[in-house]
């Protein structure tokens, strides 16, 4: 594994490898999600308790899973940047944050739409919804912090520090929200175990969403590498022109 | 360790001599609490029921206002660069400055809270518990806030950004600060949630200086 | 029972799926658009004869 990450430290090699992998991952994601949707709409039965609204689960649960997994990926990448100074670590962290935030938003949005028929209201201060909402705020903080700095390398390291602080605090936030919820609310009766006929489509959708996430993450990383390349070339171009003018004007040199 | 206490003393003296920052924080605390009944209506039963929550949230916002100055002035006049090259580790510098912030902001705000409780018809019996939770909880406010202050010391739009970064980190402190007060009215007493609130403060005291020093080092390079 | 007969709460189900489709297609098209933009910028710079840092330093060392 160490040798793989070392190999990938070369952006050119990463571009080659990711270029060949990306179509396969994207294709697999499309096929698996299509099969999952077929199972969801044509095969899977309605839940005896929730009726057809259980169909929201097949997109809500994978979104929530990706919201957390993306934050984990951001945290691992931040660790890789601060500790190992891996050249692609920040590219990975920067690429994962907006995608993770998008899935966090989807988890909240679909959760709220699921809540209306189930609980009779769009928003309840359910422990899980509340935790995901705070996770969403952390994503927003990461994006805002990065955009507030002009120097990219400083912004990258500061964002990494915040991501790691978030990882340290998140379990405490989760714990306190659970505590707070049991203190104020009766259980929402949402804990029934999932029947196998519902579980198989759910797992397939989760797999498809995960592959989709990795395809988007790879693409975002490739874009970011290109963006940095363009930026470096523009700087080199300007430096080159300054060098030329310095040659023609010896006093300035 | 001597240098540490000298630094704490310096920051306290600076805060006291300037005076303005603390006065602003206390004034802000007062006006936020005073606005609440105007928004919610003068129903005293409702107010006394939600008073602990209002006081805690107003305290967090007031403390948030003064977080910026933990590192900002020292960064602008170059004092932080001197600290970074001094023998005292930057972690302890950050800890000293967060401690000074707690002493000059957290404690005065906690002491003012019962006075504002009168405005909200808070039950007099809960005053000691309220002050105890605020005294125990505000170290977390200062030390977690120091992380945000260090991260945004160089940023554009620092103040708004600071709020966005720091407020989610305050969730555990807020929840347990309130739960101690509501538990004090119940039969089980305040024991466990009070201990958890203490633990949250201790974790913040351990984590805050480390992260704040890391953030400062990145920006002082 | 038809495949698309989703009972009394069909609106909520459709809204959820539509939201997911909108957000995901939005992300994908932004990623593709962004990629094309970077490639175009890169090609433009290369056409103007600007080379990457590594190749510039190896031939003249002018920007060192």
**Which residues, including other chains, have CB under 8 Å from residue A220's CB and lie 6 or more apart?**
A95, A96, A98, A99, C31
Residue A47, classed as helix, strand or coil, is strand
The encoded tokens of residue C15 equal 């809204």
Beta carbon pairs, A and B, within 8 Å: 80
- Is pLDDT of A131 > 60? yes
The encoded tokens of residue B15 equal 């805060």
Below-50 pLDDT ranges, chain C = 1-2, 55-64
DSSP A51-81: BGGGGGHHHHHHHHHHHHHHHHHHHHHHHII
Q: What are phi and psi of A225, to 5 degrees?
A: -65, -45
Per-residue model confidence (pLDDT) at position C53: 54
- Residues A176, A170: Cα–Cα separation, whole Å: 10
Question: What mean pLDDT comes out for the span A176-203?
Answer: 68
Per-residue model confidence (pLDDT) at position B118: 86
Residues in chain B within 8 Å Cβ distance of A137: 164, 167-168
- Is pLDDT of B30 > 50? yes
| % chain A with pLDDT above 90 | 42
Q: Tell me the average pLDDT of chain A.
A: 84
Look at A176-190, B19-33, B35-49 and tell me which has the smallest mean pLDDT.
A176-190
Total-model pTM: 0.87
Look at A63-67, A234-238, B19-23 and tell me which has the smallest mean pLDDT.
B19-23
> Which among A56, A216, A227 is the nearest to C28, CB-wise?
A216
For residue A12, the distance in angstroms to the closest alpha carbon of chain B comes to 28
The encoded tokens of residue B180 equal 């101690």
The encoded tokens of residue B79 equal 């004092």
The verdict on a CB contact (< 8 Å) between B157 and A173 is no
Q: Give residue for tokens 């708004």.
A: B160
- Is pLDDT of B171 > 80? yes
**Which residues, including other chains, have CB under 8 Å from residue B211's CB and lie 6 or more apart?**
A161, A164, A165, B147, B150
**Mind listing the pLDDT tens digit for each residue in B58-105?**
999 999 888 888 888 888 888 888 888 888 888 999 999 999 999 988
**Mind listing the pLDDT tens digit for each residue in A79-128?**
999 998 888 899 999 999 999 999 999 999 998 888 888 777 888 777 78
Residues in chain A within 8 Å Cβ distance of B193: 179
A183 to chain B: closest CA residue: B179
**Mind listing the pLDDT tens digit for each residue in B74-83?**
888 888 888 8
User: C residues 4-63 near A, CB within 8 Å?
Assistant: 4, 6-10, 12-13, 15-17, 19-20, 23-24, 27-28, 31-32, 34-35, 38-39, 41-42, 45, 48, 50-53, 56, 62-63
Using CB atoms, which chains have 3+ pairs under 8 A with B?
A
Per-residue model confidence (pLDDT) at position A144: 92
Return left, alpha or beta for B78; rule: phi > 0 is left, psi -120 to 50 is alpha, else beta.
left
> Is the CB of B32 inside 8 Å of chain A's CB atoms?
no
The verdict on a CB contact (< 8 Å) between B155 and A145 is yes
The verdict on a CB contact (< 8 Å) between A161 and B218 is yes
Comparison of pLDDT for C28 and A43, the residue scoring more: C28
Residue A51, classed as helix, strand or coil, is strand
Instruction: Determine the residue among B161, B164, B178, B198 to mutate to test chain A binding: the one whose Cβ has the most chain A Cβ atoms within 10 Å.
Output: B164
For residue C62, the distance in angstroms to the closest alpha carbon of chain A comes to 7
Q: How confident is the model at residue A164 (pLDDT cuts 50, 70, 90)?
A: very high
Q: In this predicted complex, what is the ipTM?
A: 0.88
Question: What mean pLDDT comes out for the span A176-196?
Answer: 63
Going from the C-alpha of A30 to that of each of A36, A38, A69, B62, C33, the distances in angstroms are 10, 12, 20, 50, 20
Instruction: Determine the residue among A162, A166, A181, A185 to mutate to test chain B binding: the one whose Cβ has the most chain B Cβ atoms within 10 Å.
Output: A162
> Which among C6, C19, C45 is the nearest to A110, CB-wise?
C19
Residues in chain C within 8 Å Cβ distance of A50: none
Question: What mean pLDDT comes out for the span A160-186?
Answer: 82
- Kindly report the CA angle at B96 between B94 and B100, in degrees rounded to 5? 115
- Is pLDDT of A250 > 60? no
**Which residues, including other chains, have CB under 8 Å from residue B179's CB and lie 6 or more apart?**
A179, A180, A183, B193
Per-residue model confidence (pLDDT) at position B187: 65
Q: What are phi and psi of B88, to 5 degrees?
A: -70, 125
For residue A178, the distance in angstroms to the closest alpha carbon of chain C comes to 26
Per-residue model confidence (pLDDT) at position B157: 72
Q: What are phi and psi of A51, to 5 degrees?
A: 70, -145
Residues in chain C within 8 Å Cβ distance of A98: 27
Residue ranges per structural domain of chain B: 2-220
Per-residue model confidence (pLDDT) at position B135: 92
Per-residue model confidence (pLDDT) at position C6: 65
Chains B and A touch (3+ CB pairs under 8 A): yes
> Which among A157, A162, A180 is the nearest to B175, CB-wise?
A180
């Amino acid at each position: 594994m160490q040798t793989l990450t070392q190999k990938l430290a070369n952006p050119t090699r990463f571009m080659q490898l990711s270029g060949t992998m990306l179509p396969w991952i994207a294709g697999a994601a499309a096929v698996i999600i299509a099969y999952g949707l077929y199972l969801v709409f044509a095969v899977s039965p309605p839940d005896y308790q929730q009726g057809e609204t259980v169909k929201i689960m097949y997109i809500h649960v994978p979104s929530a899973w990706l919201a957390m997994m993306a934050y984990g990926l951001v945290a691992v990448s931040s660790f890789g940047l601060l500790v190992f100074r891996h050249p692609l670590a920040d590219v990975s962290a920067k690429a994962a944050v907006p995608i993770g935030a998008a899935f966090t938003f989807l988890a909240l949005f679909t959760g709220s739409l699921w809540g209306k028929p189930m609980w009779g209201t769009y928003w309840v201060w359910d422990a899980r919804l509340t935790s995901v909402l705070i996770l969403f705020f952390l994503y927003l903080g990461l994006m805002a912090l990065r955009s507030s700095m002009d120097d990219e390398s400083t912004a990258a390291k500061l964002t990494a520090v915040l991501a790691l602080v978030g990882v340290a605090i998140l379990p405490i936030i989760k714990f306190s929200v659970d505590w707070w919820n049991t203190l104020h609310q009766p259980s929402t009766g949402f804990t029934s175990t999932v029947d196998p006929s519902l579980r198989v489509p759910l797992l397939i959708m989760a797999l498809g969403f995960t592959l989709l996430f990795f395809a988007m993450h790879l693409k975002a990383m490739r874009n970011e590498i290109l963006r940095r390349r363009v930026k470096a070339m523009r700087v080199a171009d300007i430096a080159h022109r300054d060098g030329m003018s310095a040659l023609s004007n010896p006093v300035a040199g | 360790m001597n240098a540490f206490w000298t630094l704490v003393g310096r920051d306290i003296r600076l805060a006291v001599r300037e005076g303005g920052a603390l006065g602003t924080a206390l004034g802000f605390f007062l006006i936020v609490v005073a606005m609440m009944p105007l928004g919610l209506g003068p129903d005293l039963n409702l107010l006394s029921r939600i008073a602990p929550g209002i006081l805690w949230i107003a305290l967090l916002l007031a403390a948030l206002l003064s977080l910026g100055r933990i590192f900002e002035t020292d960064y602008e006049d170059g004092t932080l660069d001197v600290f970074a090259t001094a023998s005292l580790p930057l972690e302890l510098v950050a800890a000293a400055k967060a401690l000074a912030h707690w002493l000059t902001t957290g404690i005065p705000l906690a002491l003012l809270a019962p006075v504002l409780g009168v405005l909200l018809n808070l039950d007099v019996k809960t005053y000691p518990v309220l002050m105890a939770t605020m005294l125990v909880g505000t170290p977390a406010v200062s030390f977690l806030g120091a992380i945000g202050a260090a991260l945004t010391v160089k940023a554009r739009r620092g103040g708004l950004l600071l709020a966005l970064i720091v407020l989610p980190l305050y969730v555990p402190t807020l929840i347990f600060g309130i739960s101690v007060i509501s538990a004090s009215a119940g039969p089980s007493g305040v024991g466990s949630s009070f201990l958890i609130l203490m633990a949250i403060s201790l974790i913040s005291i351990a984590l805050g200086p480390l992260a704040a020093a890391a953030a400062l080092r990145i920006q002082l390079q | 029972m038809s495949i698309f007969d989703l009972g009394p709460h069909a609106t909520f189900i459709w809204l959820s799926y539509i939201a997911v489709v909108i957000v995901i297609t939005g992300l994908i098209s932004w990623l593709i658009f962004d990629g094309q933009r970077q490639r175009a910028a890169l090609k433009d710079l290369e056409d103007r004869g600007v080379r990457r840092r590594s190749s510039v330093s190896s031939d003249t060392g002018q920007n060192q």
